[in-house]
Amino acid sequence: MTAPDQPLLDLARAHGVSTSFTDWKGVTQTVSTETLTAVLAALDVDAADPAAALQDAWDAPWRRMLPATTMAVGGEERLVWMHVPDGAPAHLAVRLEDGGERDLQQVDHWVAPREVDGALVGEATFRVPADLPLGYHRLVGASDDLHEEAALIVAPARLPAPPRGWGVATQLYSVRSERSWGVGDLTDLTDLAVFATTGLGADFVLINPLHAAEPLPPLEPSPYLPSSRRFFHPLYLRIEAVPEAVDLPTRARARVALLAKRVRERASGDRIDRDAAWGAKREALRLLFAVPRSAGRELALAAYRAREGDALTAFATWSVLAEHHGNDARAWPAELRDPASHAVAAFAAEHADDVAFTEWLQWLLDEQLAHAQHSAVDAGMAIGVVHDLAVGVHPGGADAWRLGDAYARGVSVGAPPDPFNQLGQNWTQPPWRPDALERSGYAPFRDLIGAVLRHAGGVRVDHVIGLFRLWWVPEGQEADRGAYVHYDHEALIGVLALEAHRAGAVVVGEDLGVVDPSARDHLASRGVLGTSILWFETADGGALPAERWRETCLASVTTHDLPPTAGYLEQTHVRLRADLGLLSRPVEEELAADRAEQRVWLDELRRRGLLADGADEEETVLALHRYLTLTPARLTLAALVDLVGDRRTQNQPGTVDEHPNWRVPLSGPDGAPMTLEQVFTSARAARLAAVLRG
Q: What is the pLDDT of residues 629-659, one digit of tens each?
A: 999 999 999 999 999 999 998 988 777 888 8
**Position 414 in a domain:** no
**Position 644 in a domain:** no
**Residue 141 parent element (H or E):** strand 135-143
| CATH for 87 | 2.60.40.10
Q: Which residues contact 25 (CB under 8 A, 6 or more apart)?
A: none
Q: Where does a domain end: 138, 155, 172? A: 155
DSSP state of 546: G
Q: Where does a domain end: 357, 382, 405? A: 405
Amino acid identity, position 523: L
The pLDDT value given to residue 516: 83
Distance of alpha carbon 260 from alpha carbon 264, whole angstroms: 6
Does the pLDDT at position 194 exceed 90?
yes
Judged by DSSP in three states, 365 sits in: helix
Read off the pLDDT of residues 343-380 as tens digits, 9 standing for 90 and up.
Answer: 999 999 999 999 999 999 999 999 999 999 999 999 99
Does the pLDDT at position 24 exceed 80?
no
Bridge partners, residue 70, by sequence: 152
Co-location of 212 and 126 in the same domain = no
Nearest to 426 by CA among 468, 479, 378, 463: 479
Work out how many domains the chain is built from and give that number: 3
| CATH for 234 | 3.20.20.80
Co-location of 276 and 132 in the same domain = no
CA angle 588, 592, 595 (to 5 degrees): 140
Does the pLDDT at position 140 exceed 80?
yes
The pLDDT value given to residue 79: 97
Co-location of 79 and 45 in the same domain = no
Does the pLDDT at position 421 exceed 80?
no
Distance of alpha carbon 266 from alpha carbon 285, whole angstroms: 19
Distance of alpha carbon 5 from alpha carbon 28, whole angstroms: 17
pTM: 0.95
Nearest to 95 by CA among 61, 135, 155: 135
Mean pLDDT (whole number) for 422-430: 86
Please report, rounded to a whole number, the percentage of residues in the chain having pLDDT higher than 90: 87
Co-location of 83 and 19 in the same domain = no
> In the predicted model, what is the mean pLDDT of the chain?
95
Residues of the domain holding 92:
75-155
User: Where are any strands of DSSP class E within 495-632?
Assistant: 506-509, 530-533, 538-539, 542-543, 553-556
**Residue 142 parent element (H or E):** strand 135-143
Q: Is the dihedral of CA 500, 501, 505, 508 positive or negative?
A: positive
Q: How confident is the model at residue 417 (pLDDT cuts 50, 70, 90)?
A: confident
Q: Which residues contact 152 (CB under 8 A, 6 or more apart)?
A: 69, 70, 72, 80, 94, 128, 132, 136, 137, 138, 139
**Position 109 in a domain:** yes
Co-location of 230 and 298 in the same domain = yes
**Position 179 in a domain:** no
Co-location of 345 and 381 in the same domain = yes
Nearest to 404 by CA among 305, 318, 491: 318
Read off the pLDDT of residues 572-614 as tens digits, 9 standing for 90 and up.
Answer: 888 888 888 888 788 888 888 889 899 999 999 999 999 999 9
**Position 612 in a domain:** no
Please report, rounded to a whole number, the percentage of residues in the chain having pLDDT higher than 70: 100
Co-location of 34 and 81 in the same domain = no
Q: How confident is the model at residue 615 (pLDDT cuts 50, 70, 90)?
A: very high
329 close to 261: Cβ distance less than 8 angstroms: no
Co-location of 42 and 80 in the same domain = no
The pLDDT value given to residue 420: 65
Nearest to 445 by CA among 507, 395, 496: 496
User: Where are any strands of DSSP class E within 451-565?
Assistant: 458-461, 469-474, 483-486, 506-509, 530-533, 538-539, 542-543, 553-556
The pLDDT value given to residue 53: 95
Distance of alpha carbon 687 from alpha carbon 691, whole angstroms: 7
The pLDDT value given to residue 351: 98
**Position 605 in a domain:** no
DSSP state of 609: T
Mean pLDDT (whole number) for 424-445: 95
Q: What is the phi/psi pair of residue 615, to 5°?
A: -65, 145
Read off the pLDDT of residues 218-276 as tens digits, 9 standing for 90 and up.
Answer: 999 999 999 999 999 999 999 999 999 999 999 999 999 999 999 999 887 789 999 99
**Position 530 in a domain:** no
Co-location of 239 and 369 in the same domain = yes
359 close to 430: Cβ distance less than 8 angstroms: no
The pLDDT value given to residue 215: 94
Co-location of 52 and 94 in the same domain = no
Judged by DSSP in three states, 75 sits in: coil
Radius of gyration of the chain (CA): 26
Q: Where does a domain end: 354, 386, 405? A: 405
Amino acid identity, position 37: T
What DSSP line would sit under 281-308, residue for residue?
HHHHHHHHHTSPPPHHHHHHHHHHHHHH
Does the pLDDT at position 316 exceed 70?
yes
Does the pLDDT at position 297 exceed 80?
yes
Q: Are strands 146-155 and 211-212 parallel, antiparallel or unpaired?
A: unpaired
The pLDDT value given to residue 418: 76
167 close to 206: Cβ distance less than 8 angstroms: yes
Co-location of 229 and 96 in the same domain = no
The pLDDT value given to residue 111: 93
Q: How far is CA 260 from the centre of its chain?
A: 32
Nearest to 366 by CA among 228, 208, 237, 276: 237
Does the pLDDT at position 558 exceed 70?
yes
Judged by DSSP in three states, 457 sits in: coil
Neighbour tally for 215: CB within 10 Å = 22
**Position 351 in a domain:** yes
Does the pLDDT at position 1 exceed 80?
no
Co-location of 84 and 134 in the same domain = yes
